[in-house]
Structure 1
């Protein structure tokens, strides 16, 4: 039996719309862009970013997926994947000014296609549904991310919802040599 242990509830908060929260929360590798650019009016969508970062680590077998050495470097690592055009659009939309520390370290980057992270070692964990799910979680703009309810309804989880699809999924995983443990 697999056990899941949830830890570190020390900074847990209930969301109250319009409230400014402390941006010094979350583990660096899973921090959403809103925290890294000091946007204090974040909401539950921050958790969806963290889910996306963990999911990327799982399917691409790269832990952590965004591996910054500091908070500022973390944003640079994110920008190298998601590109800077969408980052600057996000900053403009919410009238966020980047800290001067980014002037020297944040260049211009093109968005990388998610399929560019697929390798022979991780391809069995990646599907079109997985890529679509990931793409809808890892968005700069927190309002564009999937909600928890939308994430649960995403086609990536169809094998879990439909017993027949789940059996077919397990059979295909077994045939391809993927362990169910």
Structure 2
């Protein structure tokens, strides 16, 4: 069971989490025009668009044929999270009358691809944006929702405006204590050990592993940090860093049986020191605080990982919290 927000949905009216009963009020498709294609996913094609009524830029996510229930889930979750910190805003839902293909209309974020953006970051930028991402995660967790696909591709950053948005809620799900979930979620490099060992009773802490894997790649300048060639190899890559001893302790604690495929590929590995990943290229991002923070996220045992709220209170973010206080005070004093 989750250490935090375990009973959020239990204390909500059924209509909050029972997404199958969501009523979709369809907007007017003709209000939107496609400008250019900006991406595609497993479940959708994504375009930059324009609202021809008010000439506002938007993002149009055209959903590929998928179960109606999955579409309802994404819409319900986006509605429940509406207005939350750094959560991408769903503006409208429309569909083509002929094909019945639904499209989600989102706020536009002038994103720079992370592969070209992250190398430009200074140490403070990493702290700042991870903190912004934590705000979104603590908010969605507090609303009883796991994102389940945290990765750089799903974090839009407008660096000029220092604006971050967590996008793609297509794999997100409502958390109910004691429920067994599908482990075929998240993208390989960001999958928590619980998914790789087929432990289905996971919770919000899955997102914290994904965030940790993302953070490791940012501070150590190694993208992705855990580079598995398959799901089973992914666990091996993790074990080569965290060691096999802690892995077996984790499996014992939760009474998990490893798939037989691991017998041949999972040897015995000692735990590596985080300091061993430091080199001349990345040392300016790596401090004792950064390593302590990372170490508290990348734990096999999901119950040992920091929660998003705990993470935000970590000393690593002291400069960010300090700057926020100063900005708040400066804004306040200009009105006096």
Output the TM-score relative to the length of structure 2.
0.48
Rg: which structure is higher? 2
RMSD (CA atoms): 1.5
CA contact (8 A) 1:159 1:165 kept: no
Structure 2 counterpart of 1:9, from 169, 172, 178 = 169
1:140 matches 2:300: yes
Partner of 1:79: 239
Structure 1 CA distance, aligned partners of 2:293 and 2:300? 15
Structure 1: unaligned runs, 5 residues or longer: 167-181
Count, aligned residues: 166
SS of the equivalent of 1:112 reads: coil
Report which structure shows greater RCO (CA 8 Å, sep ≥6): 1
Give 1:83-102 correspondences, 5 Å limit.
83-102=243-262
Structure 2 CA distance, aligned partners of 1:164 and 1:67? 35
What is the CA distance between 1:3 and its match in structure 2? 4.0
By percentage of residues, which structure has more strand?
A: 2
Structure 1 CA distance, aligned partners of 2:164 and 2:227? 24
Task: Name segments (4+ residues, structure 1) moved above 6 Å.
Answer: none
Partner of 1:53: 213
Partner of 1:63: 223
Structure 1 CA distance, aligned partners of 2:268 and 2:237? 12
By percentage of residues, which structure has more helix?
A: 1
What is the CA distance between 1:162 and its match in structure 2? 1.3
Structure 1 counterpart of 2:204, from 27, 44, 64 = 44
Structure 2: unaligned runs, 5 residues or longer: 1-159, 327-336
Structure 1 CA distance, aligned partners of 2:173 and 2:185? 11
What is the CA distance between 1:145 and its match in structure 2? 0.3
Output the TM-score relative to the length of structure 1.
0.89
